[in-house]
Structures are given as structure tokens and as C-alpha cells.
Amino acid sequence: MGWMRRSLTFRAVVVGVLVLLLLIPLSMVTDLVHEREARKAEVEAEVSGTWGGAQVITGPVIDVPYDAPVNVPLGDGSGRFETRMETRYAHFLPERLELDAQLLPERKHRSIYTVAVYEARSTLTGAFAALAAERLDPKAPLRWEEASVHLGISDLRSIKQQVTMRVGDRTISFEPGLRHHDLAATGLTAELPLDSAALTQPLKFSLDLAVNGSTSFDLVPVGRETRVHCASSWSDPSFHGAFLPDTSRIAKEGFAADWSVLHLNRDYPQAFLGDHSGPVQASAFGVYLIQPVNDYQKNTRAGKYGVMLIVLVFLVFFFVEVLQKLRIHPIQYLLVGFALCVFYALLIAISEHLGFGMAYVIAALATIGLVVFYAASVFRVRNATQLLGLIMLLVFGFMFSLIQEQDHALLFGSVGLFIVLALVMWVSRRIDWNPEQD
């Protein structure tokens, strides 16, 4: 037992084992962060479910039914088929489509969480080219008298007013539901019977649409030429989807963005038969209203440096123990390690109320004060205690800089660890790792 007490190698191994044991509470803190983040996602889903989810606008599109023969099994086990007529649809997309959208953002509060939602006030204008069956080959006459207009809206619960559309010289009203799902999963339909006179000339249209939504607002570019202008007072947009804006302006007062998309930029024509929902929805683009301060991501990043924090503090204790010829018990190491683990629990708890920056300062000062106060009674050396406090301040400051940094975190972290390793090697030169046995 005397040899164990004098052996630096054995004591270093014990400290290493204690670091490994502290990985257990560190992992529990990480699980706590993920649990709280999942709870926030649940709250966002609840608010979106009552207010309105992510919105995707598809259309307007003119649909014309026709009869198509299909072979159906007789079902008598003979393997024979019979021919039946099935209603299918021809789709005619607008020649020109323009969208002018104003997003009015709002923050909804549920318990301690904040969710970003919006009200979208949009005006869609454009024109359909002269319609003719010759544009397609359905091999059956199109039933123009049963034509309708299809407008895809991803969340119908959030519509704020009756939706009507001016087409040519008449006004049509939309009803909920779609006759098919060839372009979108949910939406509105309005009857638009057409006669021979209406087929020979372009059809201009316009409609106003007011919907609630959350997280994102997207449009499918169904026009031969699609132009979109979107503006909002939200100052942190993220443009996403198949197309980025041609021009965008982002300031503290909000953002404005403009898109121009041609039919040559997407993988479906202006008139087609049957289901094209895959490529149609894949061409959607728009804006995502992000919340720039994601405290849970920062807490997760902070947790990744937990081992580094524990190792550096333990190294200070170990070097003081060796150089000052002290005897620090493993339980004392564990108490200091638990204090460092509690720092992360304090950080996540306080950040949910005061934000990450203020929470980090409070939790760091509390932890440093606790460890330094405890070390003063263990070291009984004023200079060593002051050195520990200074090192902990530097380590916590370095960690905070790494967490805030996005693009150069790896570079700064690697350089910082190299400097720390160099200092450890320099200090360890004074240690006699093979003392003579008594």
C-alpha cells in the first residue's frame, strides 16, 4: 500500500479511471439536453397543429377529365380481364404566374417555449394560354364542360377567408378537397366549365389568399414563367428549396426576396396527363423563418467539451498534488468532477429562461466559485488556488468562444488543445516520474 501511495503512475491511472467514471453523469446530462429539445419540438408541433403548419402553395391548375380504358381482373380465378372506363385528368398549367406574398410573423408562447408563426397574405395573378386538346393526346375526348381549377394548399385548417378566383370575366369559388392527387395531397377545387369560345383565347386570373402557417412558406413554380416577391419583417430568413432567390435584401427591419423561374428549370411540362406529384412537389421553393438562437444546439456543443474541462481541471489538481507533495483523495477528485458535471445541468436549466449567454456566465461563475472554494481547503496553498481559478476562467472562456464560433471552431479548438498540451508537457518536466524507493 505504501508503494501505491508513492507511485505517480498509479495515482495518474486512478485519476484517469475517475475521468472515465465521470463520463456517466456527462452522458446523463447530454440525454437531458436531448429530452428538453424533444419537448420543444413537441410544443412546436402542438402550436403548428392549432395555428397552421408549413405551407406549400401549388397552382392554380386547370384540370379536365376524360375517360381512359383500363383492364380489371374478373376475380373469378380464371385470370381473365375486362375493360372498364376510368376517369382520369388532363392538367393545364398557367403560362404566367406571379405571387406577391407578405408574411406577418408572430411569436407564440407555450410554457417556457417560443414558436415562430406567421400570417401570409398573398396575391396570385397570371394567365393560362389558349386551351386545346391538341396540346395532349389522351386518346379520348376531354370533357371541357366538367373542367375545374385545382389549388394545392398543404394545410387547409389555416385558411383565413373564403377563397375566390377571378378567371376571365367570371368569379368562381373554391370548395375543400381535390378530385385527384396528381399534383398535391390536399387543396381546394372550383368548377370552371369551358365552352368552345373560352378555349380559343387566353384566360387571365387573379386571387387573394390569406393563410396561417409556421416555419416555412413555399410555392411550386407551375407557370411557364413564375415570378415571386416575398417580404416580411422577420429578420432571420433561410431561403431553401429547388431555387434560391435572384435577389434578396436582409436587414434588422426584415427581408425581401425575388425569384424568377422558367419552365425549363423543372422536370415537368406545361400540360400533361396523370400523376406528376413527385417532380411537381420537388420543384417547390420558398423561405424558412428560423430562430437564430438555438440554445439546445449550443448546450449540445458545450457538452462535447465536458471531457476536456474535467481533464484540464484534474490535471491542475494532479500537478499541485505532485509538486506541492500533497495527498488528494480520489473522493475529492470525484466531488470536483461532479461539480463540473452539475455545471451543464445548470446551463441547460437556466438557458431555457435567460438565454444561453447569460446562463453560461451564471453557471460558469457558480462552478468556478464552488471548485476554487473547495480547492482552497484541499491545497492549503494560496498561489495554487489562485492559479486554479485563473485556469478555470481561461478554460470556460475558451469553451464559450468555441461554442459561439461556427466556421472556425475546429481550427481554434485544435490550436487551443495544442497549446494546452504544450503547457502540460512544460510543467511536467519538473516531475520526477521514477522517484527512488524508500
**Are 259 and 307 members of one domain?**
no
Residue 118, domain extent? 53-69+87-289
pTM as predicted: 0.71
d(CA 38, CA 122): 33
Q: Which amino acid is at 82?
A: E
The pLDDT value given to residue 304: 78
Residue 362: inside a domain: yes
245 and 115 in a common domain: yes
Is 82 domain-assigned? Answer: no
Q: Which of 232, 266, 289 is where one domain is finished?
A: 289
Beta pairing partners, 241: 285
Co-location of 421 and 315 in the same domain: yes
Q: Is 151 found in the same domain as 215?
A: yes
Residue 19 lies in a domain: yes
Q: Is residue 338 located within the same domain as residue 276?
A: no
Residue 166 C-beta-side C-alpha neighbours within 13 Å: 9
Domain-embedded: residue 31: yes
CATH code: domain of residue 231: 2.60.40
34 shares its domain with 182: no
- The answer to whether residues 375 and 249 belong to one domain is no
Task: Judge if 105 and 135 occupy the same domain.
Answer: yes
Give the total number of structural domains in the chain: 2
Residues in the chain predicted with pLDDT less than 50, given as ranges, are 437-438
Is the domain of 254 the same as that of 312? no
Residue with the three cell numbers 406577391:
100
Q: Is residue 351 part of a domain?
A: yes
75 belongs to a structural domain: no
In this structure, is residue 77 part of a structural domain?
Answer: no
Q: Point out the domain boundary residue: 289, 308, 343.
A: 289
272 assigned to some structural domain = yes
Residue where a domain stops, chosen among 253, 269, 289: 289
Residues 164 and 193 in one domain: yes
pLDDT in tens, 183-208: 999 999 999 998 877 777 889 999 99
Does residue 34 sit in the same domain as residue 169? no
Secondary structure of the chain in HEC code, one letter for each residue: CHHHHHCHHHHHHHHHHHHHHCHHHHHHHHHHHHHHHHHHHHHHHHHHHHHCCCEEEEEEEEEEEEEEEEEEECCCCCCCEEEEEEEEEEEECCCEEEEEEEEEEEEEEECCEEEEEEEEEEEEEEEECCCCHHHCCCCCCCCHHHCEEEEEECCHHHECCCCEEEECCEEEECEECCCCCCCCCCEEEEECCCCCCHHHCCEEEEEEEEEEEECEEEEECCCCEEEEEEEECCCCEEEEECCCCCEEEEECCEEEEEEEEEHHHCCCCCEEECCCHHHHHHCCEEEEECCCCCHHHHHHHHHHCHHHHHHHHHHHHHHHHHHCCCCCCHHHHHHHHHHHHHHHHHHHHHHHHHCHHHHHHHHHHHHHHHHHHHHHHHHCCHHHHHHHHHHHHHHHHHHHHHHHCCCCHHHHHHHHHHHHHHHHHHHHHHCCCCCCCC
Whether residues 301 and 207 share a domain: the answer is no
Contact 295, 275 (CB under 8 A): no
pLDDT tens per residue, range 356-405: 889 889 999 999 999 888 888 887 778 878 878 888 888 888 888 877 76
